[in-house]
A and B are shown apart, each in its own frame.
Chain A
């Protein structure tokens, strides 16, 4: 169960959890969860209203929802593992909102680390006090807020631009998402190659497992395998990484 204690703030205390797990922070964290649940509900309602008019059966909506849910099991459990590892540094509410939602483990930990360094200390070091934690949490949240703010401002602008382009040249609009997606994931995957031999081999094993799953799915006409493929690939690759790392 969550630790709910009275607030015992002391700028120089290194007992981070005494301030990091206070009820008010819990309420704010749960507020973010509630907002996302509400958003998901409203979006699904809007999609269900629009689908029949574009000739998309409700069955396909349900399938998409399920496919998205299944595909995210592996990545979600990975985020959970990393989040647990960071509880000691940030306490549960901050980990839930910053690492679990909104940002990602690498960006947010880096932000917190930069903030701690700006105060002349390091995360988890002997001078990582309640005061440093609060400043780091604030800096992470402001930076995350800027991401949301620029999404709020840029999305309508990009939408108008996209509409104009779609009118002028529909073939471009069909090509852009595919090219963008391939570009993004090629870079994200290839950036893992030079990190270490274990990284490179893990990447290859993950790719090979996915190839095998997709091939079998096609051969056996097994649609479920296409959805579970990502989870299998992550498990196989992480297991291999574990063996290589501890060997």
Chain B
């Protein structure tokens, strides 16, 4: 990594990272402000006679259930997304059911591995593409036509979509992830861990359900490293 080309590439990736960190955090703060302004207006300025305790108690009720995820989710997705895409993902939302699949498809379509430079840029572009499609379809189908569509789409169709969208999506995404990663041992380890958690550990200790995904991610990383094929030439040298 001492050739001039590599140094040059390092420097421009470093610039890319500092630019995306600056743009990313500024836009995220702006998004945070806009997302809070609406409810703040309703609560304080619209005469709905809402008291402080009402808001605090409701917030604590939500925090008790989801507070863990505020920290666990960024930790879980950071190794997959990389720092630039973190600021995109946590503002656009629908990370596991839309943004990650989009990133995997894009990376496999140009044969880039996640965590490499090409992989990172491909993920950022893919999330950009996904965001464009997503925002446009939301604005048109929910924003403009939503109240009309609500009377048009049969209730049974909405019900089926709501109930079964996750299995319909996750089966395909798991296959795509396995095929595009092309790593046998981590795949076997990850699937075995997931089966173990879903059918043994969580039923035995239901409280672990909250952390199951995060634990499987962490253990997959650790076991994939410990049980790696030591005869394999260092993969790091073939990246980019």
Q: Which of A55, A71, A150 contacts B74 (CB 8 A)?
A: A150
A contact residues, total (Cβ < 8 Å): 162
CB under 8 Å from chain B, chain A span 79-118: 79-85, 87-88, 92-97, 100-105, 107, 110-111, 114-115, 117-118
Q: Encode B60-95 as 1/0 by CB contact (under 8 A) with A.
A: 111101110111011111111011101110111111
Chain A residues lying within 8 Å of B234, measured Cβ to Cβ, are 170-171
Decide: B174 and A185 in contact? CB cutoff 8 A.
yes
Indicate if A219 sits at the interface (CB-CB under 8 A): no
Residue of chain A at shortest CB distance from B107: A64
Question: Chain A CB within 10 Å — which of B105, B114, B195 has the most?
Answer: B105
Indicate if A216 sits at the interface (CB-CB under 8 A): no
A111 vs B63: C-alpha distance in the bound complex, in angstroms? Answer: 9
Decide: A46 and B105 in contact? CB cutoff 8 A.
no
Distance in angstroms from A50 CB to nearest chain B CB is: 4
Chain A residues lying within 8 Å of B236, measured Cβ to Cβ, are 170-171, 173-174
Distance in angstroms from A246 CB to nearest chain B CB is: 7
Distance in angstroms from B22 CB to nearest chain A CB is: 9
Q: Encode B186-207 as 1/0 by CB contact (under 8 A) with A.
A: 1101110111011100000000
CB under 8 Å from chain B, chain A span 38-67: 38-40, 42-44, 46-47, 49-51, 53-56, 60-67
A87 vs B126: C-alpha distance in the bound complex, in angstroms? Answer: 29
Decide: B142 and A206 in contact? CB cutoff 8 A.
no
Question: Chain A CB within 10 Å — which of B103, B114, B160 has the most?
Answer: B160
Distance in angstroms from A134 CB to nearest chain B CB is: 4
Decide: B43 and A135 in contact? CB cutoff 8 A.
yes
Decide: A32 and B177 in contact? CB cutoff 8 A.
no
Decide: B58 and A38 in contact? CB cutoff 8 A.
no
Chain A residues lying within 8 Å of B83, measured Cβ to Cβ, are 155-156, 158-159, 162
Chain A residues lying within 8 Å of B61, measured Cβ to Cβ, are 114-115, 117-118, 139
Chain A residues lying within 8 Å of B19, measured Cβ to Cβ, are 42, 46, 49
Chain B residues lying within 8 Å of A173, measured Cβ to Cβ, are 115, 236
Decide: A140 and B105 in contact? CB cutoff 8 A.
no
Decide: B21 and A198 in contact? CB cutoff 8 A.
no
A112 vs B62: C-alpha distance in the bound complex, in angstroms? Answer: 8
Decide: B113 and A33 in contact? CB cutoff 8 A.
no
CB under 8 Å from chain B, chain A span 8-54: 9-11, 19, 22, 24-25, 28-29, 31-33, 35-40, 42-44, 46-47, 49-51, 53-54
Chain A residues lying within 8 Å of B101, measured Cβ to Cβ, are 71-72, 75, 230
A170 vs B147: C-alpha distance in the bound complex, in angstroms? Answer: 52
- The 7 sampled A-B contact pairs (Cβ below 8 Å) are A43-B20, A46-B19, A72-B102, A102-B91, A179-B186, A182-B177, A185-B170
Decide: B177 and A181 in contact? CB cutoff 8 A.
yes
Indicate if A183 sits at the interface (CB-CB under 8 A): yes
Q: Encode B134-145 as 1/0 by CB contact (under 8 A) with A.
A: 110111011110
Decide: A44 and B128 in contact? CB cutoff 8 A.
yes
Chain B residues lying within 8 Å of A82, measured Cβ to Cβ, are 158, 161-162, 165
